[in-house]
A and B are shown apart, each in its own frame.
Chain A
Amino acid sequence: MISFRMLLVVIGLGLCSVAQAAGVDKHARNMAASCSACHGTDGYSEGGMPVIAGMDKKLFVITMKDFKSGARPATVMHQHAKGYSDEQIEMLAKFFAAQKRK
């Protein structure tokens, strides 16, 4: 027989896994955190650097791939873009796209 306490634990675990599924990909978050020196915390740039928070995922991926290939000229972004695999670019795109536009 399942005790009331056990039931609470089971419900608790259920809630946890829901929260986990809805939560951010921490590896992507950690990777994206390095971008904030130039692009602001979570991509909310306050200087002249482009705001990447809320950037459409497709646009982010195309832009990074164009930096990577050299199709789009840059001062620094071509060097950063080459440092990430296509899969990692997708993860970064998803993270920044999930940030709300301010």
Chain B
Amino acid sequence: MSFSRRDFLKAGVAGIAIGSFPGMAFASSELVKKKGQRVVVVGGGFGGATAAKYIRKWSNNKIEVVLVERNTNFISCPMSNTVLGGTRTIDDLTMSYSTLQKKYGVKLIKGEVTAIDPDKKTVMLADGHLRYDRLIVSPGVDFMFDKVEGLDAQVANESIPHAWKAGAQTVLLRKQLEQMADGGVFALAIPKGPYRCPPGPYERACQVASYLKEHKPKSKVLVLDANPDIVSKKGLFMAAWNELYPGMVEYRPNSMVLGVDVASKTAKTEFEDVKADVLNVIPPMRSGVVADMAGLADVDARWCGVDFLSYESKVHKNIHVIGDAVSAALPKSGHMATSQAKICAAAIIELMGGKQPDQAPVIANTCYSMVSGNEAMHVANVYHFNAEKMAMVSAEGGGVSAKRSELEGAFAGYWLKNILNDVLL
């Protein structure tokens, strides 16, 4: 924590003085006393951490930034499938938030937001509140467990992990893979899009197959895809499955998993029951539920509509939404979240200075998928703001790799190093 106990006590006194406004049932303490212009960022993933850093960097530290994050460390979701394959550990993907504080002066609050009051420009936490001039909500995704009968957050934590947020569930899934007997079935259920990281599930099938090929070659990866076809990099994934893991990966399109039997590890689709030895169900997704605290998910009650010049919410002024939670024709990727965060950060600095933000933002996305221990392929696109459509539109010329390669496998590693540095160091 970047403020002293004395500051904290002073803040407490100030909090009591203003703590009785409507909507707040009790007098709460102001966690960090607001002095000048302040942005509060909720969520320290790729989007939120980048926004926090870049507001400090580009405002020459003039704007105060308070970052609220519930986890102690940052864990990268990109490349976390390689933990299943065995070429990385979760520790390799874990970074501290401390540099954001030490080098950039971002004030870190470890905790969860419990309420947002857009009128009072205040967010509530369990032990107090924070006032803001502008709020950035970077909530990532949450899972719609109610769409898969028998599945809930506890089941996912204990026996049928989705492992779609890197961390304990990634480690559990790897452990289940290690404990599976040779000849077993690893079943992977993919939800209907849009979901976080479009090529991610197919990359996961590759990483699991890579492990099985080496250690349990009689085993099988069964992919139950709710979508009618492979969503991303189709030809490249099919080539990888056929050439690297012949006979090992079985792909079934239009196979939406509607329920599970936890005890027998059975996945139920409309057409069949599939018994697995390791069951990995990735549930349908929506914007992180923090968005609902200010009613920000205005698109299908799932995703958040924004103005692409500033990422300001279509629902509330002075609240911005970035990353996977945004409703856009943009891939839900780590690189996209950082790119959106920078446009948002730049816009907020201009708006706070009474100026107009960049009217023609251009952002890029490069997304690598590791298909074996050392080979990768990519999809890359540049997106321009289109003033008529008021949307980000893909430029001509983007696309995927000609073929998978070791060179791109190396590039994927360099990408990870540079993007993590860019977000956190």
Residues of the A chain whose Cβ atoms lie less than 8 Å from the Cβ of B361? 30-31
B residues in contact with A18, CB < 8 Å: none
Q: Are A30 and B358 in contact (CB under 8 A)?
A: yes
The interface stretch among A3-11, A33-41, A55-63, A94-102 is A33-41
User: B342 near A30 (CB under 8 angstroms)?
Assistant: yes
Q: How far is the CA of A27 from the CA of B355 in the complex (A)?
A: 14
Select which of B58, B364, B416, B418 is within 8 A of A34 by beta carbon. Answer: B364
Q: Which residue of A36, A80, A84 contacts B418 across the interface (Cβ within 8 Å)?
A: A36
Known pairs A83-B397, A83-B398; list 8 more (Cβ under 8 Å): A37-B366, A39-B418, A40-B418, A47-B414, A49-B418, A68-B397, A79-B380, A83-B396
Residues 356-377 of B, flagged 1 when their CB comes within 8 A of A and 0 if not, give: 0010111110100000000000
Cross-chain contact of A38 among B342, B401, B418 (Cβ < 8 A): B418
| Complex contact B414–A45 (CB within 8 A) | yes
Chain B nearest CB from A98 CB (Å) reads 15
Is the Cβ of A41 less than 8 Å from the Cβ of B422?
Answer: yes
**Cβ B411 vs Cβ A76 within 8 A:** yes
Q: Which of A13-28 contact B (CB under 8 A)?
A: 26-27
Given contacts A82-B398, A83-B382, A83-B397, contact A49 B411 (CB under 8 A): yes
With an 8 A cutoff between CB atoms, is B381 at the interface? yes
| A37-B397 Cα distance, complex, nearest whole Å | 20
In the complex, 6 of the A-B residue pairs with CB atoms within 8 angstroms, ordered by the A residue number, are: A37-B366, A47-B414, A76-B378, A81-B397, A82-B382, A83-B395
Instruction: Tell me which residues across on chain B come within 8 A of A83, comparing CB atoms.
Output: 362, 364, 381-384, 395-398
> Beyond A37-B422, A76-B380, A83-B395, is A48–B364 a contact (Cβ under 8 Å)?
no
| Residues A33 and B342 in contact, CB atoms below 8 Å apart | yes
Q: Which residues of A lie under 8 Å from residue B378 when comparing CB positions? A: 75-76
B415 proximal to A (CB < 8 A): yes
Any B CB within 8 A of the CB of A46: yes
Contact, CB under 8 Å: B413 / A30: no
Given A76-B378, A79-B399, A37:B338 Cβ within 8 A: yes
Interchain residue pairs A-B with the least CB separation, the first 7: A83-B382, A82-B397, A47-B414, A83-B395, A47-B417, A34-B364, A37-B419
Closest CB-CB distance, A26 to chain B, in whole Å? Answer: 6
- Quote the shortest CB–CB distance from B415 to chain A (angstroms): 5
Instruction: Tell whether, in the assembled complex, residue A27 and residue B410 are in contact, meaning their CB atoms are under 8 Å apart.
Output: no
A76-B380, A82-B398, A84-B382 known; A27+B360 contact, CB < 8 A: yes
Q: Count residues on chain B whose CB falls below 8 Å from chain A CBs.
A: 43
Dominant SS among interface residues on chain A: helix
**Chain B residues with CB under 8 A of A35:** 364
Interface size on A, residues (CB 8 A): 30
Residues in A with CB closer than 8 Å to B421 are 40-41, 46
Residues of A within 8 A of B405 (CB): 75
Cα–Cα, bound, A30→B340 (Å)? 10
Please report the C-alpha to C-alpha distance between residue A29 and residue B398 in the assembled complex, in whole angstroms: 22
In the assembled complex, the Cα of A33 lies from the Cα of B383 at a distance in Å of 13
Report Cα–Cα, A83/B365, bound state, in Å.
Answer: 11
Q: Which chain B residues border A38 with CB–CB below 8 Å?
A: 366, 411, 414-415, 418-419
Q: How far is the CB of A45 from chain B (nearest CB, A)?
A: 6
Instruction: Assess the A88–B417 pair: CB atoms within 8 A.
Output: no
Tell me, yes or no, whether B407 is within 8 Å of chain A by CB.
yes
Q: In the complex the two chains form, what is the Cα distance from A88 to B364 in whole Å?
A: 13
Q: Which residues of A contact B399 (CB under 8 A)?
A: 79
B398 near A36 (CB under 8 angstroms)? no
